[in-house]
Amino acid sequence: MAGRLPWSVPAVLGVIGGILLALGLPWGAAVLVAAAALALLDARPLLLVVALLGGGAGWLSAHTVLSRPEPLTPWLGAQVTLKGEWDGQFLTLAEPRARLAVSPKPTQGPGKMEVAGRLVDPQGRRTPGGFDQAAWLRAQGGLFVPTPGAVLVGARVKAHQPQGGLRGWFRQGLSAGLSERQAALMQAVELGDRSDISQEDFAPGYAVRDAFARAGLAHLMALSGQNVALITGVLVWLLIRAGAAPAWRYGLPAALLLPYLLLLVQPSPSITRAVIMGAAVLLALALGRGRPDPLGLIALAALACLLLFPLWLLDVGFQLSFLAVLALTQTPRVAERLPARWPHALRLAISATVLAELGTLPVVAGTFGQLPLVGLPANLVAGVIMAALVPLGFLAGLLGPLAAPLNMVGGLLASALLAVAETFGRAPVLTWGAIGAAGVVAYATALGAGWLWLLGRVRARAALGTLLAGLLLTALPGWLRPAREVVFLDVGQGDSTLIRLPGLTMLIDAGGSVGSDYDVGGRTVVPALRALGVRKLDVLVATHADTDHIEGVPAVLRALPVGELWVGHRKKGDPVLDAVLAEAQAQGVPVREVRRGDHVQAAGVTLTVLWPPGPSWQEEDNENSVALTLDSRGWRAAFLGDLAQAGEAQAGPGNLDLLKAAHHGSRHSSGEALLSQATPADTVISVGRNTYGHPHPDVLARLTQAGSRVWRTDQVGTIRWPVP
C-alpha cells in the first residue's frame, strides 16, 4: 500500500476531525487518529503533516464560523420591516450584512423584497424526527457567507421586484410557455429552487415533493453531478463535433463551471461537489493527464467544501451527496456481477441506482423515516427522461423569453417526469425509526461484508449472513423490551399525545395550525411517529372539532395503517371534522363514536373514556371533548382535551399521578375543583407561541398551589413519560 494513498484522503480526514473538535465533539480526535494512522501505513511521513495541518485548518474554519456574532441579535423579539435580496430560501440584507429565514416562506419568486414580521431565534429539534431549524441554519454559513441566525416570523411581503440579470433571464426561459407545475419542476431540476414545486399537489394530501420522495426520486430536484455531467457532456460532444482540440474540448467546459455555480445556481453541498469534481476531471483531460483517482478526487472535493463551509459536515445534503458518490465508485464491480447477457448500459444503470440507495440508506432512513421500495424502476425510467430534460432545459434557460417553442418539447418531458413521480409515488414505502449507534455499527459491518464480497474475499453466503445478523441484532431490543410510555409531542399551539404499550398504540389528536397552510400532521406528527418506530396505530382519537387538535389527523390516516378512529360528537357541517371523516372513509378506517365507560386494555393497562356522556351535546365544541384516563399498576393519568372547568369536574378523573392539562392551560380549565380531587403530582401543558395568553398565570398559580410540577412543551419540547 505504500505510496498509493492520495494526499487528499488524510487531509480531509484531518479537516473533519478538526471540525468535530471545534463543535465540541470529542470523537473528532478518533478521526484525527485515523488520518494519522493512514498516513503512517502509507509509509509517507509527509502525509502525517498533511493530516495534522488539515486538523488545524478544519478547527480554525469551524471556529471562525461558529464565533461570528449575529448582527440581528439587537432586534430579536422586535417587529421589523426589512429590505433585501430574496433568493427563494433566504433574505440577504446589505446593512447589516446578514441572512435570515422567512416564515411563512413567501410565494413570490427570487428578487428584491420588502417584508415585515417579528425577528426570533431559530428553533432546535422539538420532536423526534423533527426538523432542527437552528442546526440547519447554522450549517448554511461559511467563511465568506453570513450564517442565517434569525427567523422573521409572521412575515408579510410589502413589496417585491422580480429578479433580473442572468438568473432572472434564465428563469424566464424555464417558464416560457409552460404550465405552473411544469415551470416549478423545471426550476427545481435546473436551479435547485424547490420553493414553487413545494406548493404543488397532485391531489389533496398528495404533494408533488412527497411523491418524488416516496418514489426515490427526490434527488432529481437537488442539483448534483447528474446536472453537471449531462450539461458538460452535451457541450463536450458539440465541441468534439466541431473539431475542437482537447485543450478547448475539455478546458472550455471546465472554465464555465465556476460561473455556472456562482452566477446561475447557488452553492449547495451536492452541486459544489459536482462542480469541483467535474472541473478537476475536465482539466485533467485537457492537460492530457487522464482521469484522476476517484477516491482522491472525492476527498479533494470534500476538502474544498469543508474548508469553505465547515458546518456542511452536519448537513444532510452534504452527507447524502458524498455517501452516494463514494458508493458509485463500485459501480463497475457490481455491474460485472450481473448477467453478461444484459446490455452493458442497463447493468451500469442498475448498479449505480442500487449502490446510491445502499450508500445513503442510514441517512435516508434515519432522517426521513422511510425508504422507497420502487427506487430502482423509478430511477431507471426517470433517468431516461432526465438525460434529455436537463440539457434541453438548460438551453431553454439560456434562450430566456425566446424559449417557448423549445419548451413545447421540454413541457412534454416535464409532464412525463411528473407522471413517473405520481405513479411510483403511490407505491408503499418501508417506514423506519431513528438509527442509533448500534444501527450504524450493524450497517457498517454489513456494508464491509458486501464490499469484501465484491472484492472476492468472502462468499455471498457469508455476506448475506452478516446482513441478516445485523438486522436481527438491531431488532432484538425492541422485541425484548417494548415501549411503555406516553409521548406529548410538541406541535406548537395544539395537541398530539402518543400512548405506546405492548399490543396497543394510541394517538390522541394530531395537532393543527389555525390560519396557516402548514401541515402539522404530515410535517411534524408523522415524522415523529416514524422516528419513534411507530408503523401502525391501533386507535386514533379525534377529541373534538377544533383545528389545533384534528387538522393533522387526515395526514396521519394517509401515512399509517389505523385500526379505529374514535370520535365523540359527530358534528355535522364542520369542515375540519368532515375532512377527518372523509379521509377515514377513503382509507377504510372504521369510525367509533365513544361514550363514558368505553375502554380498551393491553399489557395490564386500561384506557377508559370519561367524556362525553352523550347523547345530548353542548354548543361549545370544547365541552364535547373526548377525555380519557390511563390506569397502570396503580399509576393514573388523564387526558382532558379542551374541557372547561365544569366539564372537568363532571368527568371526575379521580386521583391522578399525571394530568394532561385541558385547553393548553386556558384560565377556564384546570379548575380548583379538579385539582383538589385529582391532586396530580405532575402536569403537562401542550402549548406553543400564541396570542390567547396560554398558559394563563391563574392556571399556573392554581397548579403551584396544588403542589403539581408543570412541564410545558413550549419550554422543553416533546415530553416522554414512562408508564409503570
pLDDT tens digits, residue range 354-363? 999 999 998 9
* Whole-number percent of the chain with pLDDT over 70: 100
Can you say how many angstroms the Cα of residue 555 is from the centroid of all Cα atoms in its chain? Answer: 16
Please give the pLDDT value at position 605: 94
* Grid coordinates belonging to 429: 414505502
Q: Which residues contact 592 (CB under 8 A, 6 or more apart)?
A: 564, 565, 566, 567
pLDDT at 479: 77
Predicted pLDDT of residue 3:
59
**Contact present, 335 and 348 (Cβ < 8 Å):** yes
Residue 679 has pLDDT above 90, yes or no: yes
Instruction: Pick the closest to residue 389 from 407, 369, 371 (CA basis).
Output: 407
Average pLDDT over residues 89-101: 93
pLDDT at 706: 92
Whether the per-residue pLDDT at 204 is higher than 90: the answer is: no
Lowest mean pLDDT: which of 314-328, 360-374, 701-715? Answer: 360-374
The Cα 293–Cα 281 span in angstroms is: 10
Whether pLDDT at 616 is above 80: no
Mean pLDDT of 535-556: 95
pLDDT (0 to 100) of residue 360: 92
Euclidean distance between CA atoms 392 and 410, whole angstroms: 7
| pLDDT(1) > 50 | no
Are 448 and 469 a contacting pair, CB within 8 Å? no
* Lowest mean per-residue pLDDT among 61-75, 463-477, 686-700: 463-477
CB-CB contact of 533 with 498 (8 Å): no
Please give the pLDDT value at position 618: 81
For 218, the grid coordinates are: 427526490
Average pLDDT taken over every residue of the chain: 92
- What's the pLDDT at 578? 94
Nearest residue to 218 via CA among 182, 194, 202, 195: 194
Q: How high is the pLDDT of residue 515? A: 73
Neighbours of 114 (CB within 10 A): 16
Residues sharing a CB contact under 8 Å with residue 165, sequence separation 6 or more, in sequence order: none
Structure-model confidence comparison of residues 485 and 154, the more confident one:
485
Tell me: the pLDDT tens digits for 136-175?
999 999 999 999 999 999 899 999 999 888 999 999 999 9
The mean pLDDT of 259-286, rounded to a whole number, is 93
Q: Is residue 249 within a helix (H) or strand (E), and if so which, with residue range?
A: helix 246-259
Instruction: List, in sequence order, every beta strand (DSSP E) within 552-701.
Output: 562-567, 591-593, 599-602, 605-611, 627-632, 635-639, 658-660, 682-685
The amino acid that residue 699 corresponds to is: V
Q: Which residue has the cell 393491553?
A: 602
Residue 2 confidence (pLDDT): 53
Q: How large a percentage of the chain has pLDDT more than 90?
A: 73
Cα 50-52-58 angle, rounded to 5 deg = 100
436-445 pLDDT per residue, tens: 788 888 888 9
Structure confidence at residue 24 (pLDDT): 95
DSSP summary character for residue 641: T
For residues 234-253, average pLDDT: 93
- Between 196 and 394, the more confident residue is 394
Res. 710 pLDDT band, cuts 50 70 90: very high
Q: What is the mean pLDDT of residues 57-76?
A: 95
Whose cell is 452553492? That residue is: 267
